[in-house]
């Protein structure tokens, strides 16, 4: 797998990050270790997990971090892997924010113990609390750096106005600040007119955020980076699309059996048709292209994607090495 030096850090990481939300939740220890072994053998070294991953299982522990910690120990992989984890997620039975010194301290201690790491290379705040001044949150995280508990920290599911205020505060006070943003973002974008369902605390990157990344060069490390395989799934179903990227009601009903209708927009269908052409030109899989999209952006963007088996892992590894034409960027 290809690697990049993450902007304004000394972290040399694979250009695709392995999502670990299903470690211990769908994948048992043997399956998890096999995936991690193959990922490392291919040159992958960037793993994304969280203190909350696994707490929905019976017993309620941070199962993903625990399995990763066992793997790091048995493989003695502490020096070769960059494990990013997250804390301060709301309790699962509520959406009440937990962005406080006590909650972060508790989550960080659990993560360090489970992972077997004295220092976390990259630590994400999993959610924001807009009732707390962002300056106070920055000060908390800077203190963790000073204490040697973390090296870099980032913002997951933070809105743009909060990031702008945080950056201004850090520049005025010569602080390290956020080294990355982890929001929901994929080449396939949901219909903006459709009400969003699920967790209302999740934040979607948009064109304004995109422009901010260009201006600040702060890396984006998005989750749900393939929109649950949207382009791959519709390609498998071989949809009938007219020259204006229209699609019939009957065809939409057929596709709805496998894909989220929120993504069946004219924009996404137009992008899909372009991906089909490029996939033929480059002899590259549609799914790989949806990940490789992030490689040619004018700022560091490392997509996070999870896999369930070695076939999916191979696709991710192959995507890491896709060579897109110079200047090739898919835009609206």
Rounded to an integer, the average pLDDT of 125-140 is: 98
Confidence of residue 331 (pLDDT cuts 50, 70, 90): low
Give the tens place of pLDDT for each residue, 3-60.
999 999 999 999 999 999 999 999 999 999 999 999 999 999 999 999 999 999 988 8
Would you call 74 exposed, middle or buried from its count of C-beta atoms within 10 A (0-12, 13-18, 19+)? exposed
Give the tens place of pLDDT for each residue, 184-236.
999 999 988 776 656 889 999 999 999 999 999 999 999 999 999 999 999 99
With beta carbons less than 8 A apart as the criterion, state whether 320 and 15 touch. Answer: yes
Would you call 42 exposed, middle or buried from its count of C-beta atoms within 10 A (0-12, 13-18, 19+)? middle
Q: CA–CA distance from 224 to each of 48, 117, 183, 210, 249 (Å)?
A: 12, 27, 9, 16, 27
pLDDT at 325: 76
- How far is residue 19's CA from residue 79's CA, in Å, rounded to a whole number? 19
CB neighbours of 207 closer than 8 A, spacing ≥ 6?
A: 332
Asked if residue 136 has pLDDT above 90, the reply is: yes
- How far is residue 152's CA from residue 50's CA, in Å, rounded to a whole number? 15
pLDDT at 324: 84
Place of tokens 């392995």: 18
CA 63 and chain centroid, separation: 19
Structure tokens that stand for 238 in this block: 């071989």
Structure tokens that stand for 68 in this block: 């990763």
Give the tens place of pLDDT for each residue, 261-304.
899 999 999 999 999 999 999 999 999 999 999 998 999 999 99
- How far is residue 102's CA from residue 130's CA, in Å, rounded to a whole number? 17
- How far is residue 180's CA from residue 72's CA, in Å, rounded to a whole number? 24
With beta carbons less than 8 A apart as the criterion, state whether 71 and 35 touch. Answer: no
- Backbone dihedral angles phi then psi of residue 95, each to the nearest 5 degrees: -110, 15
Place of tokens 């702060």: 218
pLDDT at 93: 86
Confidence of residue 246 (pLDDT cuts 50, 70, 90): confident
With beta carbons less than 8 A apart as the criterion, state whether 8 and 288 touch. Answer: no
pTM: 0.95
């Amino acid at each position: 797998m290809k690697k990049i030096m993450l902007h304004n850090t000394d972290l040399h990481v694979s250009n695709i990050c392995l999502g670990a939300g299903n470690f211990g939740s769908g994948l048992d220890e043997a399956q998890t270790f096999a995936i991690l072994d193959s990922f490392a053998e291919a040159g992958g070294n960037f793993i994304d997990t969280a203190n909350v991953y696994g707490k929905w299982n019976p017993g309620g522990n941070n199962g993903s971090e625990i399995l990763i910690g066992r793997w790091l120990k048995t493989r003695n992989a502490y020096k070769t892997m960059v494990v990013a984890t997250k804390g301060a997620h709301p309790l699962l039975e509520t959406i009440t924010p937990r962005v406080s010194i006590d909650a972060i301290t508790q989550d960080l201690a659990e993560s360090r113990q489970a992972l077997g790491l004295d220092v976390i290379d990259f630590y994400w705040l999993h959610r924001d609390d807009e009732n707390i001044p962002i300056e106070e949150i920055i000060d908390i995280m800077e203190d963790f750096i000073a204490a040697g508990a973390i090296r870099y920290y980032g913002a997951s599911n933070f809105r743009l106005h909060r990031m702008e205020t945080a950056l201004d505060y850090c520049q005025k006070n010569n602080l390290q600040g956020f080294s990355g943003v982890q929001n929901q973002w994929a080449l396939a974008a949901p219909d903006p007119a459709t009400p969003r369902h699920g967790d209302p605390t999740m934040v979607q990157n948009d064109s304004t955020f995109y422009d901010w990344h260009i201006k600040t060069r702060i890396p984006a490390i998005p989750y749900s980076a393939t929109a649950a395989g949207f382009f791959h799934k519709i390609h498998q179903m071989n949809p009938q699309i007219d020259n204006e990227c229209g699609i019939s009601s009957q065809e939409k009903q057929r596709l709805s059996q496998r894909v989220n209708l929120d993504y069946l927009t004219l924009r996404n269908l137009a992008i899909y048709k372009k991906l089909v052409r490029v996939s033929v030109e480059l002899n590259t899989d549609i799914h790989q292209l949806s990940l490789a999209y992030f490689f040619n952006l004018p700022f560091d963007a490392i997509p996070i994607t999870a896999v369930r088996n070695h076939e999916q892992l191979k696709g991710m590894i192959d995507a890491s090495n896709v060579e897109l034409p110079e200047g090739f960027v898919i835009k609206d």
